[in-house]
């Protein structure tokens, strides 16, 4: 039947059998007899009717609709993954400081829970890292996920993508992390990173030197520092330092000198945008007075401040908590205690923040998958897992960025001061050792020149005038509002 329909013009009437070829019992009755017509069996098939000129376009229309529907289904499945194999996703993650072995257990766990996702972690060298990150990202050769400093957003905003609300809403972000992260990582109505840690300046002192000097209490204010530092300082008959009370006042041998100046600046009510103000001048005076005559509690002849502390030649230093790891590694037997930074008597406690954040490149083809992984790392269980892994290779891990994990570190001898200050951290782009070769390092150079000018006898206000002009230009360069 199908062949006949396809070739109707070739149909020929079938030859009719002759009477001679049909057995007698099969001879049809006389068709002229009316009564015989009515008695034809009802179950005989009707005689086929061939419509040789029947139009064909309905078949083509139906076929076209079917093909269209099939194609539509294929496209929808390709776009949304319905019914097909899950798309393979490979994410490149540029980290700093942490070895691949530390990150591997959490990466393995995520990949196990998310088949089809592969995460390649690379520990990058800090030198030229920021420049490489920007250049590689713009050429589509950069990472999907990367670590950056909390002060870097103004200088990398061209490559970072905003945190999607379906991954973490603004309300959840603000409930989860400390206020400093909310201030540092927000542009307009969007957040541009997820912090996995929090850190900043703390006071570290040598308990053995305190005992020798007869100092029984821990300093909590700058008045305390002013009172005990002379007692902690030991000089020979020629006035040369044997033991310093505190490492502060110079630039060449004080690690994190810019951070310390920044702390004094904000505690004194000043800001980088107003370095020519009386508050800024007062901060520089406080910084310098510990090294100036006649006090001379610190000088350029002393070793580098961290080295001096390791060698037990200085009683007090101010540094981020991670410096404790270097001290303990070099001198495991040193007896030290960690405190929040000294506060101004009667003023609200405040300290200077310095921590690292994980972000996603806007050039990544898999931004949602990248953010999902960072959301995974920021969850309570996974953050505590990461901390536990870190403690296998060093005395302590990175302080938790989540507010609800603060109780877990409340009694930690090294990190409890960080957590106590976390709610009052303030950020300033003058943090040492971010290796950004940009915003921080450029401002630090102006601060360094101002301090050195004061060392050479230039007045504090004059020393800060050039710095104020330079910082204003840098703020304009990076579109930072004063």
The domain spans of the chain are 89-198+355-419, 201-352+438-477
| 105 or 41, higher pLDDT | 105
pLDDT in tens, 259-310: 999 999 999 999 999 999 999 999 999 999 999 998 899 999 999 999 999 9
**Rounded-to-integer distance, Cα 252 and Cα 162, Å:** 39
Specify the CATH number for 201-352+438-477; select among 3.40.190.10, 2.120.10.30, 3.20.20.140, 3.40.50.300: 3.40.190.10
Element (DSSP H or E) covering residue 71: helix 57-80
Q: Looking at residue 91, what is its pLDDT?
A: 98
Give the least confident one: 52-61, 168-177, 259-268: 52-61
Cβ pair 224, 279 in contact under 8 A: no
Residues 426-458 as b/e (b if ≥16 CB within 10 A, e otherwise) read bbbbbbbbbbbebbbbbbbebbbbbbebbbeee
Looking at domain 89-198+355-419, what is its CATH homologous superfamily?
Periplasmic binding protein-like II (3.40.190.10)
**Per-residue pLDDT tens over the stretch 185-219:** 999 999 999 999 999 999 999 999 999 999 999 99
What the block records as the tokens of 95 is: 């980290």
Q: pLDDT by residue (tens digit) across 113-136? A: 999 999 999 999 999 999 999 999
| Topology alike, domains 89-198+355-419 and 201-352+438-477 | yes
Kindly report whether the global pTM for this prediction surpasses the value 0.85: no
Separate counts of helices (H) and strands (E) for the chain: 19, 14
| pLDDT reported for residue 61 | 54
- The answer, yes or no, to whether residue 14 has pLDDT greater than 70, is no
- Output b/e per residue, 243-252; b: 16+ Cβ within 10 A: bbbbbbbbbe
pLDDT band at 2 (very low <50, low <70, confident <90, very high): very low
Residue 1 has a pLDDT of 43
Q: Residue 342's pLDDT band (boundaries 50, 70, 90)?
A: very high
φ, ψ for residue 242 (rounded to 5)?
-100, -50
In this structure, what token pair is assigned to residue 233? 């300082």
């Amino acid at each position: 039947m199908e062949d006949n329909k396809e070739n109707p013009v070739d149909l020929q009437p079938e030859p009719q059998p002759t009477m001679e070829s049909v057995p007698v019992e099969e001879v049809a009755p006389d068709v002229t007899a009316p009564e015989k017509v009515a008695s034809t069996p009802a179950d005989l098939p009707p005689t086929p009717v061939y419509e040789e000129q029947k139009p064909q376009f309905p078949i083509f229309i139906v076929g076209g609709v079917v093909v269209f529907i099939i194609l539509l289904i294929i496209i929808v499945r390709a776009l949304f993954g319905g019914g097909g194999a899950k798309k393979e996703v490979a994410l490149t993650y540029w980290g700093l400081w942490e070895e691949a072995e530390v990150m591997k257990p959490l990466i393995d766990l995520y990949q196990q829970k998310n088949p089809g996702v592969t995460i390649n972690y690379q520990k990058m060298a800090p030198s030229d890292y920021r420049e490489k990150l920007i250049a590689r990202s713009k050429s589509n050769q950069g990472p999907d996920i990367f670590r950056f400093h909390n002060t870097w957003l103004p200088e990398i905003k061209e490559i970072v993508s905003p945190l999607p609300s379906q991954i973490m809403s603004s309300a959840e972000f603000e409930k989860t992390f400390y206020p400093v992260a909310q201030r540092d990582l927000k542009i307009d109505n969007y957040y541009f990173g997820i912090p996995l840690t929090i850190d900043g300046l703390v006071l570290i002192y040598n308990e053995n030197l305190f005992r020798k000097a007869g100092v029984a209490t821990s300093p909590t204010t700058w008045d305390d520092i002013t009172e005990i530092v002379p007692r902690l300082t030991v000089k020979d008959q020629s006035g040369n330092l044997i033991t310093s009370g505190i490492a502060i006042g110079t630039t060449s041998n004080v690690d994190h000198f810019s951070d310390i100046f920044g702390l004094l600046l904000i505690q004194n009510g000043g800001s980088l945008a107003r370095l020519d103000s009386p508050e800024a001048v007062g901060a520089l005076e406080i910084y310098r007075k510990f090294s100036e005559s006649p006090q001379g509690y610190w000088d350029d002849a002393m070793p580098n401040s961290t080295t001096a502390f390791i060698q037990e030649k200085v009683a007090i230093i101010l540094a981020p908590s991670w410096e404790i790891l270097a001290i303990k590694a070099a001198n495991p037997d040193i007896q030290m205690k960690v405190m929040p930074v000294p506060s101004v008597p009667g003023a609200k406690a405040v300290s200077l923040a310095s921590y690292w954040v994980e972000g996603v490149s806007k050039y990544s083809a898999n931004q949602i998958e990248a953010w999902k992984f960072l959301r995974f790392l920021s969850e309570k269980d996974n953050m505590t897992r990461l901390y536990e892994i870190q403690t296998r290779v060093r005395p302590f891990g990175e302080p938790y960025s989540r507010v609800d994990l603060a109780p877990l570190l409340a009694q930690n001898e090294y990190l409890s001061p960080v957590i106590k200050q976390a709610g009052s951290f303030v950020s300033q782009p003058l943090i040492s050792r971010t290796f950004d070769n940009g915003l921080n390092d450029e401002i630090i150079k102006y601060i360094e020149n101002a301090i050195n000018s004061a060392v050479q006898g230039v007045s504090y206000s004059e020393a800060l005038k050039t710095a104020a002009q330079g910082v204003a230009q840098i703020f304009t360069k990076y579109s930072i509002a004063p």
